[in-house]
Structure formats: structure tokens, C-alpha cells
Amino acid sequence: MDKIKIPIEENLGHGHLACAGCGAAIAMRLTLKALGEKTVMVFPASCWSIVPGFWPYSSYRITAVHAGFVTGAATASGVRAALDVRGDDETLVAVWAGDGGTFDIGLQALSGAAERNEDILYICNDNEGYMNTGTQRSSATPLLAWTTTTPTTQPKENPKKDIMAIMADHHIPYAATATIAYPEDLIRKLEKAKGIRGTRFIHLFSPCPPGWKMASEQSVKISRLAVRSRIFPLYEIENGRDYTIQEEQRVVPVREYLKLQGRFSHLTEKDIEITQANVDDAWERLLRKSRCFI
């Protein structure tokens, strides 16, 4: 793989309001470096409606369009159409939406845009819950995790929705997973997505220190452990068909990932075994879908 340079350009300025250690703040900084200034980014309601600060101030050095919670992909489709009418095919139209805004409430708009193969780059900032409003469960919350709506006496009963499989089944030109623990990989995937026309989807793994009850200095470490434990493998899907896995050779048991987060502190030995078995099963399924390794 070619060596990737992280661009010097900064498009996320000082003074933003993200929590200490917010994984998404690091991800946003890297993302805006890769996408560049000529970007219109649509923000359906999420932490990122608040993080840049209050009008007339903003930490974004790109054009930001704040949109209704359900409308991320639909708003971006409209922005793209308006730019096309103006003959502007240089400006990139992107969406930055939470997992609530993607897996749940915005899924219909996203599915419609993907089916039409709208020329947009959709980034799902997945912190595995509705964090801006106080850590409610979403369909991206993992099995057995604590949230304020899945207390430890009744932890989440359902597994995380497989959003990558859903996007692959729309046969979009490009979908990829990424984390801040592998910044060159994230930049490479964003730059690759930028060079493709049609609907592109990035599933970004995004540790949330208050919501995950984890130490704020461990966002990068937890992201790396998510990949090494295969809780969150790094891979790409082209045209809904061609899978490429960026396999991490240093594999660790899921226990190493779970034990750093208070949202899993109630898990029993049996729960950890169930989680490990589910992860092993998902990995096998992913391997069967992939055709090569790099």
C-alpha cells in the first residue's frame, strides 16, 4: 500500500465544544483535512449540531448545513442538485450523521439516496448511542451494553445492526469502515471516496468517553482494540460485491476491549463468552464475503 500523507491543512478550528477525549473530534479533524475546504457538509441533529459552537461563531472552516434529524441524505441530495444547476462539480457534498441519525431515524432518507446513487459522501459517526441527548440506546448499540434506556438490570437484548451489509445491498460504489487508531487508513479511504462518483459511505467507529464510561485519554487505544479484537474490523466494499479486509495481525480477545469501558462492567463470564462467540461468527461471515487481503 502507498504511504499516505496526512494533509497539513486544518479545517476544524480551535474552541470547539467536544468533550475531552471525544473520538469524533479527532475523526472530524482528520476528515476535514482529507476532504478539504471545498466541502459542503450536512449535519442532521447530533452532537455535531452543538460541537462547532453557537452562531455567529463556528469551528468549521467548511460550509456547514444544519438539517433536521431524519433528513441528512435527502438534504445532501438537494445541495448536490443545487450545485449541479450552478455548474459546480468541484465542491464535494458530504453528510456527517450520528448512528441514531443513520441506523435508525435517517435510514429511510439514506436508503433512498443510495438507491438513486446520489453523488454524496455519507459519514456515519458511530458512537453507539444517542449521545447528544444523554446516551439512549440506538440500533447501533452493541448487545448487552448499558445505556440510560438499557439499564444494567435490563441491558440491550438485540445485536448491533449490520449497517455495512445494508449499504452493500444498495450496490453503492464504495463503503468502508474506519477508525482514528489508523489515521492513514482513514485518510486513504476518504481520499478514495472523494475520487468516486455516486453514493459513498464511511462507517466511522467513534469512542464517546462519557457515554461509554471510559477514560478520556483512551479513545485511540479503545479504537485500536476494537479492530484487534475484531469487534470493528477495517474493510472496504466496492459495488456491493468486492470486499477487501485490512487485517490486523495482532488479534486480542474481546475481553481486552470490553474491560476498559464501564458500559460493559456488569457483563458476566458467560456474557463475555457470548460476545466473543458472536464476534468470531461475524468475522467468519466477513471472511466468506471477502475475496482478498492486503
* Residue 239 touches ligand TPP, criterion: CB under 6 A: no
Rounded least distance, CB 125 to ligand TPP, Å = 6
* Residue 101 touches ligand TPP, criterion: CB under 6 A: yes
Binding pattern for the stretch 162-181 against ligand TPP, x by CB under 6 A and - elsewhere: --------------------
Q: Which stretch binds ligand TPP (CB under 6 A): 13-21, 42-50, 147-155, 175-183?
A: 42-50
* Residue 133 touches ligand TPP, criterion: CB under 6 A: yes
Q: Which stretch binds ligand TPP (CB under 6 A): 123-131, 163-171, 247-255, 272-280?
A: 123-131
Per CB under 6 A, the list member of 94, 99, 200, 237 interacting with ligand TPP is 99
Q: Measured on CA atoms in the order 168, 114, 110, 247, is the torsion positive or negative? A: positive
* Residue 100 touches ligand TPP, criterion: CB under 6 A: yes
* Residue 229 touches ligand TPP, criterion: CB under 6 A: no
**CA dist., res. 96 & res. 76, Å (int):** 10
Rounded least distance, CB 100 to ligand TPP, Å = 3
Q: Which stretch binds ligand TPP (CB under 6 A): 44-52, 86-94, 212-220, 223-231?
A: 44-52
* Residue 23 touches ligand TPP, criterion: CB under 6 A: no
277: Cβ–Cβ under 8 A, 6 or more apart, which residues? Answer: none
* Residue 31 touches ligand TPP, criterion: CB under 6 A: no
Question: Which residues inside 56-95 make contact with ligand TPP, applying CB under 6 A?
Answer: 69
Per CB under 6 A, the list member of 21, 23, 52, 98 interacting with ligand TPP is 98
**Exposed e or buried b for every residue in 103-120, given b needs 16+ CB within 10 A?**
bbbbbebbeebbeeebbb
Per CB under 6 A, the list member of 62, 121, 131, 234 interacting with ligand TPP is 131
* Cβ closest to ligand TPP, residue 205 vs residue 243: 205
Question: Torsion angle of alpha carbons 285, 100, 176, 94, nearest 10°?
Answer: 160
* Residue 127 touches ligand TPP, criterion: CB under 6 A: yes
**CA dist., res. 25 & res. 84, Å (int):** 31
Instruction: Please state whether 230 falls in left (phi above 0), alpha (psi between -120 and 50) or beta.
Output: left
* Residue 45 touches ligand TPP, criterion: CB under 6 A: yes
The residue ranges that bind ligand TPP (CB under 6 A) are 45-47, 69, 98-101, 127, 130-133, 138
